[in-house]
Chains A and B, each alone.
Chain A
């Protein structure tokens, strides 16, 4: 079946450091890929998405590129802030739709801690 693997945390960085959270997937067909973020005490929020190979999703300074050849969707940010501290989930939608047509397959989540 489909699966998502992401680096386990916690990942601790200093403010203004460069961030990479690795995410790889296995899926049949052509999935859509997502990054969700969960801030303390809140529900999951969509951070960015990509629906086809070579698409780059971006939001709030975060970027991720859909790499079909390496089945990866790594999350990056050039300069992190304390407010970026949260849990980040990589996910896929097997149907390749906008993400609302079928249940998502999630990674285990990566807890990111940014220190001042």
Chain B
């Protein structure tokens, strides 16, 4: 089946640093990628949608200058948390879909981000 790889799986860093998370579709071309955030015992919340070669569309309340998303190729999207602070600590999950949305999303394993 379709595979989405997310890296790193866990990162700890100091407050004020920037962190980049990669999301790769390994065996299909991802025309659309999504980024979600999950708080403990809460549902996944959509942060943004990105289409290859276009600017990401952010959900209401998500700071685009804080969470930079780049989808430069059909197999790679990155999420950069800029000047991270403890409140940005969370579980971030990416997903990818191909065939212009006709098929379901395939999810990465997630990245646990801890800001000290």
Contacts and interface: CB of A to CB of B under 8 A. Distances in A.
B41 to A, nearest CB: 7
Contact of B32 (A100, A106, A108): A100
A27 interface: no
Given A100-B32, A102-B49, A108 B100 contact: no
A83 B99 CA distance: 32
A44 interface: yes
A103 B62 CA distance: 14
A100 B102 contact: yes
Interface residues of A, number: 24
A43 B95 CA distance: 10
Interface in A79-109: 89, 95, 97-109
B44 A89 contact: yes
A42 interface: yes
Nearest to A111: B41
Contact of B103 (A43, A100, A107, A109): A100
A97 B106 CA distance: 15
Interface string B25-67: 0000000101010000111111001000000000100000000
Nearest to B3: A43
A42 to B, nearest CB: 6
Interface string B74-116: 0000000000000000000101011111111111111000000
Given A45-B107, A103-B59, A97 B102 contact: yes
B46 A100 contact: no
Nearest to A109: B43
A75 interface: no
B93 to A, nearest CB: 7
Interface of A: 4, 34, 36, 42-46, 49, 89, 95, 97-109
Given A101-B97, A109-B43, 6 more contacts: A43-B4, A43-B110, A97-B101, A98-B102, A99-B103, A104-B44
7 contacts: A46-B104, A89-B44, A98-B99, A98-B101, A100-B101, A101-B32, A102-B101
Interface of B: 4, 6, 32, 34, 36, 41-46, 49, 59, 93, 95, 97-110
